Every structure is written in C-alpha cells, then in structure tokens.
Amino acid sequence: MTAGASRMLLEQIQHAATSAGLDAVGVTNTAPFTQARRAIDERKAAGLHAGMWFTYGRPERSTTPANILTGARSIVVCARNYEPPNPHTPEGPASAAGGSGTVAAYVASDAYGALRAGLERICEVLQRSGFEAVTVCDDNRLVDRAAAARAGLGWLGRNTMLLSRELGSWTVLGSVVTTAELPAPDQAQSDGCGTCRRCQTACPTGALDTAGVLDANRCLAWLVQAPGVFPPEHRIALGDRLYGCDDCQTVCPFNDTAVTPARGQPVDLGLRSNGAARGNSVDVAELLRMTDDDLMAAFGHWYIPRRRPEYLRRNALVVLGNVGDPDSPAVEEILRRSLSSASDVVAAHAVWAARRLGRDELVAEAQSAGLGNHDPDGLVAAELAIPVPRRQTAG
C-alpha cells in the first residue's frame, strides 16, 4: 500500500470512529511492549498483583500484539469518554435506612458497549479495503493503556490511568489490530503529571504510595472484585463504595478541564424501577433483600467473582456497616437474615457489619441459633475472633 493510500485509509478510519461517537483515535505499530512487560513482571514478582488476572495473567501474550493476528502491522487505539460520577442527592437512596452504595462511573453507563460498536465500524472499513482486522476491547490479550500511550492518546499518570490533556481520564479504551500498515505518530505524549500528587494523597488506602505503581492488595476498585474475604484492614476505608472507586480520578486536575460529551441517559443500575437507584447510587438494603436470581439479573453485567452473588452481598454488608442506620428495623431484619445465611462468606461479613453498627446482641443470638455450624473454611470463626470498632453515629 502506498503512503497516500495509507493516509486515505486512516482518514476513513477516523471518520468511522467519529461517526460512531468515539472521542480519540491513534495508531501504533505491533512491536512488543517491552517496557510494559518488564513492569508487569517486576510488580508480579513483588506481589503487587494480589491475584489479579487482567494484564498479569499472561503478560507474554498481552504485551505481544502480533500474536493476536497473523501478519498484523498496526494497532488502531480508540478512547471513548463516559460521564464522571454524580454526587448523591438528598431525595435519592442515600436517605434509605440501609444507606446508599456508590458505583464506579464506568459501570453507570454502557461505555464499553458503545466503544465496541465503534471498533466494529473500524473493522468493517479495514475489511472492505481487503485487510484483516480484529477488535480487542476489555480483553486480556492486549495491554490497552500501554497501547494507547504509544499511539499518542495520552500518558500513563501517577494513578496508573491513561491521562489526556483534552479528555482527562474518564475514558474506556479499545483497539483494532490489523494487517494494514497505517501511519503512526513519531512519539507519545509527554508526561503531564509533573510534581502533582493529588491522586496519591487521595487514595484511601495508600495503594498509590509509589507514583505510577498500583498495589492491588490495597486498591478498593480491585478488592470489591476479588474473591474471598474482604480484607478487614480496608473495610472502614471502603466507606459507601459498593463497586469500584473513582477517587484517584475525581481529584486529577486534568479531569477538571476535560471535555466530556453528553451521552444521554445512564444505563439502568437494576433497582431504578423501584426508585432505589439514582445516578451512581444503589440502595444497599434493597440489594440485600433481593434473591440471588434477581441480584444477578440486575447486576450481572458487572464483574462478580466466579459469578457468585455472595461476593456482591459481601460488599453490600461492608457498606451497610459503614453507612446503615443501626436503629432501623429494616437493617436489623437484613442483619438477622444475613447472619443465618448458608453462605459462610455472607455470614462472616454480616458478623462484621452487625458489630460495626453496635448490634452485638444479634451476633450473640445467631451464635445461639448455630452461627458458624456451617463454616468449612473457618471464615465465621475468624470474624468472631477479631475486634470490630463500633461506628460512631450522630445523636
């Protein structure tokens, strides 16, 4: 393909991306991401991955884009903005007795669905021109932030997110790997973070103590998605975060001036029909009352470890302990039900939530009724053995 034909094809790609609502397009080659591979290996060896599979699972594959498609010559990398988080409103679920659980902004709208649709449009343009093309979106096969940085869409900030002077960091990323050889920029954007440490200071658990390095063992956004017990030392810091954590983005100065296009109505969070969800919030009590089938129908589009609803209940119980009304009959009923759950994960976190709310008598009653009789991994016993600081409430 001649240089002129290559430039013309890139223009067609850019037009298709813009028409599909994508906000940035860049191109890079398919050379291995050696720096990203080295960083992944070092952090994995240091134990900073905390069992996270994404990116860390098979770095030899995710940092070698030529493995995705035989004869691949270029990667078209795209970004799509999503709406920043909305503050709680007084009439919203925050006023409910069980409290309101906040949800990360990227799952409050179908940003990835719209991104995938745009990437497919780009694939069609390339395929009509006789080239092979494969979409890679929210996929372990490619280190998307490294690809976006090399394609000139931004730089990797101190919070490890891709930052752009124009778009900030409220973006989802995806790529098209193709056999077409497309013109690519000579160099990536320069680091714009400078001496700013806002994200590091704002991180509630110190997961960003080393600039540009994430300790997943302390990252709340990962811990709400990880299987097993939610670490006791980070439960109070979780606050009202039911799913995800946006703190390192909300404080970033580039997000203060970023242009975020209006995207219409947010996706239904699952309980909106009952008036229990508003913006980026979910009524925790309503969630904990749902059957497993209803819970998965409402929230199954989120990543829930092993597709087991007990892990979302686990998060909700920690939030309940942090923000629920200890004197509410509804909260008491939820705690009683959770303490008698057949799931040791749910029962264990209900112990913590009850004690956090100063309802130790509910735990004692549950013990008399057989709490911990079904405890194959000793989760309930471990919870009963650790002290829980009672939450101080107004009045």
Q: Which residues are tagged catalytic?
A: 138
Contact 143, 63 (CB under 8 A): yes
Q: How far is CA 276 from its chain centroid? A: 22
**Exposed/middle/buried for residue 281 (C-beta within 10 Å: 0-12, 13-18, 19+):** buried
Backbone angles phi, psi at 100, to 5 degrees: -110, 135
For residues 148 and 128, what is the distance between their CA atoms, to the nearest angstrom? 25
Q: Please give the DSSP secondary-structure letter assigned to residue 164.
A: B
Contact 17, 121 (CB under 8 A): yes
Q: Please give the DSSP secondary-structure letter assigned to residue 187.
A: S
Contact 338, 317 (CB under 8 A): yes
Q: How far is CA 166 from its chain centroid? A: 22
Tokens 């077409």: give the residue: 180
For residues 202 and 217, what is the distance between their CA atoms, to the nearest angstrom? 17
Residues paired with residue 76 on neighbouring β-strands, in sequence order: 27, 176
Nearest alpha-carbon partner for 117 in 258, 206, 16, 15: 16
